[in-house]
Amino acid sequence: MLAQIGRGAASVIYLVQDPKSKQIWALKHVVKNGPKDQRFLEQAEQEGAVSARLDHPVIRRIVKITRSRSLTGVKELYMLMEYVDGVSVDKHPPETFEESVDIFRQVARGLAHMHAKGFVHADMKPNNVVICDDGSVKVIDLGQSCAIGAVKERIQGTPDYIAPEQVHLRAITPKTDIYNLGATMYWVLTRQNIPTAIPKGDSLVNSLDDHLIEKPKPIKELNPRVPDMLADLIMQSVAIDPDQRPPDMDWVADRLDLIYGKAVADRKLREGKKNGDAATARIEDAAQKPGDALGQGA
């Protein structure tokens, strides 16, 4: 064990090293100190079960779970996970539009993989997206993940990103992840949260009627620089009615790839124009001062 790197309500995460391979891992230790902690053990079990079915570079791997039992059941659990060396998007948001879209599209591909395997992340938000030191993107925390179509017994999700169907205890589907990701993209590009069925700070709203959920401001009102194609995608993704959202996460990822490609092309065009203008200026200066331009000035 090398160091403690995190702490939760009923868990501690340590940095550990395999003595043989020297591989660095993260080790999550979950302890049941009372009945209220049972849900944390269940979430850890669920996270491990879902992770075992996935194989995508964007989704953090869980390689092993060890359980300690008592007469009443599992008392504590150790989860060996891929060590993700980076910073979450909520703590260090991307600095450029191009970087933002690159992150979005990688996350969308990871989520599309989950959907293809039959699962929904169900808690996509900025602090569950980590940018590693090498620039790669990792989606973490599968504790709320579930099978497509699952109906949960209690409300689970993060208030500023939760989809209406999660609050209504309706079926969780890939459209739920689309909403959560849309709310995440909205925050990254505006630093404001969309209104949801559970406003921040409230345990429940007075009514769970879809028609009473406040609609978010058009993203271009808050950030006019967001391209129309991306603005449309985000606003469609956070539609209250799941049927009004994009058809699937692959479609979202393809759209983001297109937006990213255009952003890269536009940047190169700007850089080319800037370099061209600089070269023209140097040529014009050389024509006026040929000796200086050749390094032969007096």
Last-in-domain residue among 82, 111, 136: 82
The CA-CA-CA angle for residues 42, 112, 245, to 5°, reads 100
C-alpha distances (whole Å) from 207 to each of 151, 183, 197, 204 are: 20, 21, 8, 8
Q: Are residues 113 and 234 in the same domain?
A: yes
Q: Are residues 110 and 232 in the same domain?
A: yes
Last-in-domain residue among 82, 113, 147: 82
Q: Which amino acid is at 120?
A: V
CATH at 41 = 3.30.200.20
**Under a CB-based contact definition with an 8 Å cutoff, are residues 226 and 189 in contact?**
yes
Q: Are residues 186 and 111 in the same domain?
A: yes
pLDDT on residue 283 = 56
Task: Return the SS3 of 27.
Answer: strand
pLDDT on residue 281 = 56
Domain, as residue range, for 159: 86-260
Last-in-domain residue among 33, 57, 82: 82
> Residue holding tokens 């937006």?
259
Structure tokens at 100: 């933002």
Length of the chain: 298
pLDDT on residue 288 = 56
Q: Is residue 221 part of a domain?
A: yes
d(Cα 143, Cα 187) in Å, to the nearest integer? 22
Bridge partners for 7 per DSSP? 12
| pTM assigned to the model | 0.86
**Under a CB-based contact definition with an 8 Å cutoff, are residues 106 and 137 in contact?**
yes
pLDDT, averaged in runs of 10, over the chain (298 residues): 81 90 93 86 92 96 90 87 94 94 98 98 97 92 95 93 94 98 98 85 48 85 95 97 97 98 91 72 56 41
Q: Is residue 276 part of a domain?
A: no
Q: Is residue 268 part of a domain?
A: no
Q: Which amino acid is at 255?
A: R
Distance from chain centroid for Cα 190: 16
Structure tokens at 183: 């709310």
Q: Is residue 244 part of a domain?
A: yes
Q: Is residue 275 part of a domain?
A: no
Bridge partners for 146 per DSSP? 120
**Number of domains, the chain:** 2
Q: Is residue 180 part of a domain?
A: yes
pLDDT on residue 1 = 64
Q: Are residues 129 and 78 in the same domain?
A: no
CATH at 216 = 1.10.510.10
Cα distance from N-terminal residue to C-terminal residue, the chain: 67
C-alpha distances (whole Å) from 95 to each of 88, 158, 188 are: 13, 24, 10
Q: Are residues 70 and 105 in the same domain?
A: no
| Count of beta carbons in the 10 Å neighbourhood of residue 188 | 21
